[in-house]
């Protein structure tokens, strides 16, 4: 005979399940009661930072990608290394992540902790900051559901081979996205992030001196001049989109067939038959690019998401509690 649990135990089980489900459910108004000023604080912090440092939008978008594509948006890329652990941000590919992106997240976290302590995750801050900054520089608005928790693990050893590099062949880049259930078209749409921001000369130096076939001749001469001293000065960099470097638009795609792509992976998008048709489509129609970029960002924002007890709300974004 099966014994029925006592009523109080049934109630406890129900309450635990209800709490877990409510914690685990992402939604657009997650902080409406627990942190009513969330949207105001985020907007003020982001606006002030972008006005003061206009490179913040591109920096934050790049930080978001490097966090999301590895393990999902869990802010693990924000964690600092310790004597006992080399964290993601100290992997070679992440050493060039711009400081302004870390700074805008830290500023927002500090303000939110004062208003509603131990409530808003660093992962949600990064996701919303990215969307709002993209919109500020002319990009599409898209929904960001909230309720992510911050990851407790960050290891540099997990990064190699799991983040796209400019020097990777297109097949390898496509495989990284495929493993995460992203299509070739979604990868090309997300690559449109290169419409803003810049890349360091060392990331494309081998191409502009050794393999110049894909470049416009005048463009490659200009790059060689701009990067001539990059070995002595590793901070030298060039805008990804030389036409409208601070505006989120579709000129990045229009540049590629003209030989005005900066990185080896940019040229790969335009020369690989699997991706070239999407480059052409986005070059012709900015509205389609914006629509597909927005959809891909919404999908990336919930990839591998941690909710409920699978993560935590960090007190500081650079350290596990």
Catalytic positions are 66
**Annotated binding-site residue? 195:** yes
CA distance 108 to 316: 11
SS3 content of the chain, % helix, strand, coil (to 5): 55, 5, 40
Residue 149: which of 127, 131, 122 has the closest Cα? 122
Q: Is 106 annotated as a binding residue?
A: no
Distance separating alpha carbons of residues 65 and 160, to the nearest angstrom: 15
For 114, other C-beta atoms within 10 Å of its C-beta total 9
Sign of CA dihedral 281, 287, 292, 297: positive
Of the candidates 192, 255, 261, 169, the one whose C-alpha atom is nearest the C-alpha of residue 220 is 261
194 is in an annotated binding site: yes
The verdict on whether residue 67 carries a ligand-binding annotation is: yes
Question: Closest Cα partner for 128 from 116, 112, 114, 142?
Answer: 142
Cβ(248)–Cβ(134) below 8 Å: yes
Residues shown for the chain? 321
76 in a known ligand binding site: yes
Distance, CA of 281 to CA of 77 (rounded, Å): 33
* Residues 195 and 252: beta-carbon distance below 8 Å: yes
Three-class SS of residue 312?
strand
**Helix axes of 273-284 and 286-302: crossing angle, nearest 10 degrees:** 120
Q: 303: helix, coil or strand?
A: coil
User: Cα dihedral sign for 175, 26, 136, 202?
Assistant: negative
Residue 272 assigned ligand-binding role: no
40 burial level (CB within 10 Å; 0-12, 13-18, 19+): exposed
212 annotated among ligand-binding-site residues? no
User: Which residues fall in the annotated binding site for heme b?
Assistant: 194
* Residues of each annotated binding site: 67, 72, 74, 76, 88, 164, 194-195, 241, 244, 249
Annotated binding site for Ca(2+): 67, 72, 74, 76, 88, 195, 241, 244, 249
Binding positions for substrate are 164
């Amino acid at each position: 005979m099966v014994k029925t649990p006592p009523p109080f135990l049934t109630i406890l089980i129900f309450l635990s399940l209800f709490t877990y489900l409510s914690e685990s459910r992402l939604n657009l108004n997650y902080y409406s009661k627990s942190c009513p000023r969330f949207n105001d604080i985020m907007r003020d912090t982001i606006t002030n930072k972008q006005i003061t440092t206009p490179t913040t939008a591109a920096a934050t978008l790049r930080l978001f990608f490097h966090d999301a594509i590895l393990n999902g948006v869990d802010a693990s890329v924000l964690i600092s290394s310790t004597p006992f652990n080399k964290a993601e941000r100290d992997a070679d590919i992440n050493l060039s992540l711009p400081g302004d992106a870390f700074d805008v997240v830290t500023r927002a976290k500090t303000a939110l902790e004062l208003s509603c302590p131990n409530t808003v995750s660093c992962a949600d801050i990064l996701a919303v900051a990215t969307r709002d900054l993209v919109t500020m520089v002319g990009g599409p608005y898209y929904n960001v559901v909230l309720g992510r928790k911050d990851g407790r693990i960050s290891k540099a050893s997990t990064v190699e081979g799991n983040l796209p590099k400019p020097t990777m062949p297109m097949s390898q880049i496509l495989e990284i996205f495929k493993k995460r259930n992203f299509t070739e078209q979604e990868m090309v749409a997300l690559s449109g992030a290169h419409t803003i921001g810049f890349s360091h000369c060392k990331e494309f130096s081998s191409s502009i001196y050794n393999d110049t076939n894909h470049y416009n001749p005048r463009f490659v001469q200009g790059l060689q001049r701009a990067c001539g001293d990059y070995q002595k000065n590793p901070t030298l960099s060039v805008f990804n989109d030389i036409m409208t470097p601070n505006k989120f638009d579709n000129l990045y795609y229009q540049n590629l067939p003209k030989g005005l792509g900066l990185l080896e992976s940019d040229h790969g998008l335009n020369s690989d038959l699997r991706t070239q048709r999407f480059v052409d489509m986005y070059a012709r129609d900015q509205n389609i690019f914006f629509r597909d970029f927005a959809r891909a960002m919404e999908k990336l924002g919930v990839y591998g998401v941690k909710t409920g007890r699978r993560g935590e709300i960090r007190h500081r974004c650079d350290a596990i509690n």
